Amino acid sequence: MERIAGEGLDCATLGRIAAGAPARFSAAARARIAEGEARLAALIADGTPIYGVTTGFGALDGAKVTAADNQALQRNLLKSHAAGLGAPMPEAEVRAMLALRANVLATGITGASLEAAEALLGMLNAGLLPEVPVQGSVGACGDLAPLAHLVLPLIGEGFCRLHGERMTGAEGMARAGLAQIPMTGRDGIALINGTEQTTAIGCLAWLEGDALIRWAEAIAALSLEALGGLNDSFDERVALAKPHPGQIEASRRLRELTQGSVAVLAPRASRLRDALSLRNIPQVIGAARDASAFCQRVLEIEINAANDNPLFGLADGFVTSNSGNFHGQAAAEALDFLANALTSLAVMSERRCARLVDPATNYGLPAFLIHPEATPGRNSGFMIAQYTAASLVAELRMRSIPGAIQSVPTCANTEDHVPMAPLAARRAAFAAETLRQVMAIEFLLAAQALDLRGHAAAPALRPAVSALRRHVPTMREDAVMGPQIEAAIAVLREMPPP
């Protein structure tokens, strides 16, 4: 059982919740939520003007709302804002959204009711997963459309899945044994006014990307072995001469991964330098390591923040209807940075793929890594696998425009700058998945090349090669290539990096 406390949540914990772990509020979080709810009720009773409670929303904030109309206001907000389109978000991302919004409410300064907060974890723990279209958020005033879809079942609206079966929100709540909630105070706006679509997609993309960076080191090391790369490019003295933390760590990892290699050797008179796709592995993967560390730091601040407006201070009584904490610029910038870094890894991986299949650059290996027992011409080897890698990289480049600069004003120009943060998150997720595909192709090629040379991989790399060979044997005659690439992808997804 994972703990939701309004603080201290990290991406790893969120990943476990997304994968199916249940979650509960800490006792301190429950107390803070109840205190914040009471604080809001006192302000309403005193007649204090509060945006979205005693007023309309957005450009309609000049419209006054009476206490009698408050419940209708909060419910109508969810209905009108549920304007999303596109494919439903994956279940893991929906689970992450539920946990993340609950963590925001656990700060106690949003004024949400304990009933509304508990309802989010109630759906999560019951496995009742709302149907949330992926498109529709601009990332300011919150990921409004997707979050509205996320909570529609709480008022008996929308659609959801329970144990894989699709049904209406009302039916899902009833079958899960959950009560619909009345949406009083500011429950409606408190449930949707944050960056939780962005951070749900973004945190899970970061988890994937961070693991893939370590796989990138391992597969690059395997290619170094296949191509007889030089080992001084990742000498510690080189890294310390340009001491970016990521480069230092990537160099250390390459030394560790190639220790005991019979092929990765010191420079010699006939070979003093390598091509940059071999020689600059520490610099490129190191930059990705630094981007990943930055992205993690930003995301873990974001997911423990009060992403909402208005905010109601508990200690000093501070109240504001002018908070901009729902704006996702910080997360958008970090996720664009991550996407850029992962794209660069894919670009470099494809260049090594090209070298591995080209007899002009692969240091004596057969063209397209065709096995000596096969007949060139009648067999094409891994020719088209490299085409696929090239196509994947081209698509990554097509999607390389940052999301964080795509502001289009909304809400009658009251929201005249928006960060399009979910687009940056989705771009990072796409980059991670595509990087895995490109690296799977390099993995296949490097393993084939080592077999053709008759070399065993360095000891640290042998478990990964063995895992691949359990599903994909050395290619001696042409075989259907797609399933072999898919098998390599599965190894990268399911096995921890060496």
Please identify every residue annotated as catalytic. Answer: 51
- From residue 366, alpha-carbon distances to 147, 219, 317, 444, 469 in Å are 55, 20, 74, 15, 20
Task: Indicate the helix (H) or strand (E) that contains 72.
Answer: helix 70-81
What is 179-225 written as a DSSP string? ------TTHHHHHHSSSHHHHHHHHHHHHHHHHHHHHHHHHHHHHHH
The pair of three-digit structure tokens given for residue 214, joined into one six-digit string: 């370590």
Which residues lie across from 265 on neighbouring strands? 230
d(CA 439, CA 69): 57
What is 471-494 written as a DSSP string? TSPPPSS---HHHHHHHHHHHHHH
d(CA 84, CA 101): 18
Please give the angle made by the CA atoms of 69, 72 and 76, to the nearest 5 degrees: 135
Q: How far is CA 357 from the centre of its chain?
A: 32
Number of Cβ atoms within 10 Å of the Cβ of 283: 20
Q: Is the Cβ–Cβ distance between 146 and 133 less than 8 Å?
A: yes
Q: Is the Cβ–Cβ distance between 188 and 74 less than 8 Å?
A: yes
Q: Is the Cβ–Cβ distance between 366 and 381 less than 8 Å?
A: yes
Contacts of 316 (CB under 8 A, 6+ apart): none
d(CA 167, CA 165): 7
- Rounded to the nearest 10°, the torsion over CA 459, 468, 489, 19 is -80
Question: What is the Cα gyration radius of the chain?
Answer: 26
Q: Is the Cβ–Cβ distance between 468 and 443 less than 8 Å?
A: yes
The candidate with the shortest Cα–Cα distance to 287, out of 324, 352, 338, is 338
Task: Indicate the helix (H) or strand (E) that contains 101.
Answer: helix 91-105
Secondary structure of residue 167 in the 3-state scheme:
strand
Q: Is the Cβ–Cβ distance between 157 and 170 less than 8 Å?
A: yes
